[in-house]
Structure 1
Amino acid sequence: MLRLHVLDIVFLVILLPENVKLLKNGLALTPPMGWMSWGYYMCAVNCDNYPDKCLNENLILSVADTFYHDGYQEAGFEYIIIDDCWSEKERDENGKLVPDKKRFPNGMKYIADYIHTRGLKFGMYTNIAEITCMKYPGSQYFFDIDAQTFADWGVDYLKVDGCFVKEDYLNTGYIDLGQELKKTAKDMVYSCSWPYYIQFIHKKMPDYQKIAKHCNMWRNYHDVQLHWPAVKAIINHYKNEYDRISPYHGPGQWNDPDMIIFGTGALNENQSRVHYTVYLMLSAPILLSCDMNKITTFEKKLLQNLDLIAIGQDPLGIMAKPYQLEQLVILWVKPHLPMKGDRFHSFSFAIVNLDTEQHLISIYPVVYGVNSTDGYSVMDVFANTFRKNVTLKDYIQVVVPAEDVILYTLFPL
């Protein structure tokens, strides 16, 4: 079994290798897990006409209740994050941001307190420009005031967008806002969109060494859309960018492929397995975006699979390496804990088939870094069953269904 208790994870984090680089705020030592409003709700402010799809106080509190009562919190989901479109269109007379008075009548401190009483954490959104991506007040010229405002409200996680600014400002604005957040003495996970705008808007290569010094996590590809082709595009992007971005990925600093789109009806069961598994193999943040009441029984069981989550939340935080086996079949290989002694990692192998036809795949694990001379015990993670023991000379053969994934974990004997 792959399950790790919370105390085990804390102990293992203490034993991390000295060369692992951590952001100095000491947060997000494993990838954040939670819920974010944007992917499904977007700028859902027309609550009179669409009360069932409305970004408001009741929605946020209901997500907290669902996490608390339905097993998500125990599985590791803890952050509840409000994205764009939460504020009034004007600041107050003191230059402070004001929550929309109709949709958030009790204010953000009330929401934060409600979430905190359930042992969960609260996140919010801003942009480093004068306005947000949806034309609400941004934080430019107000970094100090906004940082203190978010701290006073009890914010634990801040997503910062980068619309409508020039390249040079991206390379200074995120650093400057981060410094103001530190001055508040309120710990906040700092989520940046910095590399995305550098690469896809300004057509330059991001300086990940600098970004990793200042941000806990960062978006570096397009927003996920509510359909399977968007998920496939994200998977292929991370495959193609692995060599560039993996050196800067680890405890306290994570590449963020955007949200999980369960609960939207966008994916079938096979596609859902692929979506979730690849993100966990990447040690990526896991942020749902949906009406939590629309999560299916299958999706809930998958989301709360502790054997899967142990792979994604592994304290070493190693980003799985991709290997193209066939044109539409990718093998993702991830070393992780537990280890045998200090030499032999466990490994997870995710064979991802993006084709519309099944594929017969054979792999020799020794080719991909396994090295225990006593061999390995192979577990089928989805079936939760022992498959067989293998030596360094053996191969594994399996039929991978169309648009699906087979996931094995190899434990050193």
Structure 2
Amino acid sequence: MIVEEELPDEAKKSIAFLSLCYIDTLFETRCSLKDINITKRKVHSKGLKIGIYESMGYQTCQGFPGTFEHIDDDAKTFAEWGIDFVKMDTCHTPRGQLVSEGFKNFSRALNSTGRPIVFSCEWPHVGPHPDWDTMFNYCNTIRNGRDVQDSWDAVTSIIENFAKNQVVFKNVSGPGRYNDPDQLIIGDYALSYEQSKTQMALWAIMAAQLLMSNDLRDLPAWAEDILKNKEIIAVDQDPLV
């Protein structure tokens, strides 16, 4: 695991270690992280939070077992593992209201564990007319649009979606409930220096969770400077936003 030692404390709060691994035989045979307890200790020792990926469906997008039929067991297991952040996707979901009830039930199950776990939801993807107020009552972060791709067109599409729906997104976000325009692609191959500054600034204005989609080992110095900008991070982390 690579950790940037010079990241400001404000930035470290916004980092989660996301794993596509799961439990039982799939975890042993298809993932390099053999022991979640070792992983948890290593991540926490770096001052970071540990997160895990799942889907409110029968399978994840990668074909691992999904959470829909294991809601209570998964919530309990994640808490026992010391997980701090759960990203819940919407691949291979059941139809209709069942998936919405699944998100609500998983939120309740997480709360019942007694461990504070950030619940990041892609719930809006399951229907054409999201009920944002209801979703934010059950989720800490809500995906407000499409998945980001490694291109400037994808970033501008997300920005335009926020501009079009800014009144809605402004009113439903607040302390403990954050917008999720997807990950920062600063330091990957697609964005120029100016485009990268634009993404960082606008994600901060959106009061978004800041998750980096890059390889810290290959991060250019100019990208590192953007991601470590304390003034921009302070805007994103403003407790009144």
TM-score band, normalised by shorter chain: over 0.9
- Greater helix share, structure number: 2
Paired with 2:126 and 2:216, the residues of 1 have a C-alpha distance of 30
Counterpart of 1:282, as a letter, is: M
- Structure 1 runs (4+) deviating above 4 angstroms are none
Q: TM-score, normalised by structure 1?
A: 0.55
CA contact (8 A) 1:251 1:316 kept: yes
Residue in 1 that maps onto 2:11:
76
Residue in 2 that maps onto 1:87:
22
Paired with 1:117 and 1:83, the residues of 2 have a C-alpha distance of 17
Residue in 2 that maps onto 1:238:
162
Q: Does 1:168 align with 2:93?
A: no
Q: Does 1:226 align with 2:150?
A: yes
Residue in 2 that maps onto 1:361:
none
* Superposition deviation, residue 80 in structure 1: 2.6
Q: Does 1:190 align with 2:126?
A: no
Residue in 2 that maps onto 1:95:
none
* Superposition deviation, residue 249 in structure 1: 0.7
- What secondary structure does 1:218 align onto? strand
> Deviation string for 1:89-125 (max 9, x for gaps)?
xx46xxxxx5244633432221111111122110001
CA contact (8 A) 1:282 1:312 kept: yes
* Superposition deviation, residue 223 in structure 1: 0.6
Aligned match of 1:115 in 39, 43, 46? 43
CA contact (8 A) 1:83 1:159 kept: no
Q: TM-score, normalised by structure 2?
A: 0.93
Residue in 2 that maps onto 1:372:
none
Counterpart of 1:121, as a letter, is: K
CA contact (8 A) 1:161 1:193 kept: yes
- In structure 2, relative to structure 1, the CA distance for the partners of 1:316 and 1:105 (3 Å cut) is closer
Q: Does 1:136 align with 2:72?
A: no
Q: Does 1:155 align with 2:79?
A: no
Paired with 1:110 and 1:73, the residues of 2 have a C-alpha distance of 25
- What secondary structure does 2:27 align onto? coil
Q: CA RMSD in A?
A: 1.7
CA contact (8 A) 2:10 2:237 kept: no
Aligned match of 1:278 in 202, 207, 210? 202
Q: Does 1:295 align with 2:226?
A: no
Counterpart of 1:278, as a letter, is: L
Aligned ranges 1:96-111 → 2 under 5 Å: 99-101=27-29, 103-111=31-39
CA contact (8 A) 2:71 2:102 kept: no
Counterpart of 1:192, as a letter, is: C
* Superposition deviation, residue 75 in structure 1: 4.0
Residue identity (%): 29
Q: Does 1:307 align with 2:231?
A: yes
- In structure 2, relative to structure 1, the CA distance for the partners of 1:105 and 1:214 (3 Å cut) is closer
* Superposition deviation, residue 197 in structure 1: 2.4
CA contact (8 A) 1:113 1:154 kept: no
Paired with 1:82 and 1:239, the residues of 2 have a C-alpha distance of 29
Paired with 1:102 and 1:242, the residues of 2 have a C-alpha distance of 41
CA contact (8 A) 1:139 1:146 kept: yes
- What secondary structure does 1:211 align onto? helix
Counterpart of 2:103, as a letter, is: Y
- In structure 2, relative to structure 1, the CA distance for the partners of 1:243 and 1:131 (3 Å cut) is same
Paired with 1:163 and 1:105, the residues of 2 have a C-alpha distance of 23
CA contact (8 A) 1:194 1:219 kept: yes
Equivalences, count:
239
- Greater strand share, structure number: 1
> Deviation string for 1:326-368 (max 9, x for gaps)?
xxxxxxxxxxxxxxxxxxxxxxxxxxxxxxxxxxxxxxxxxxx
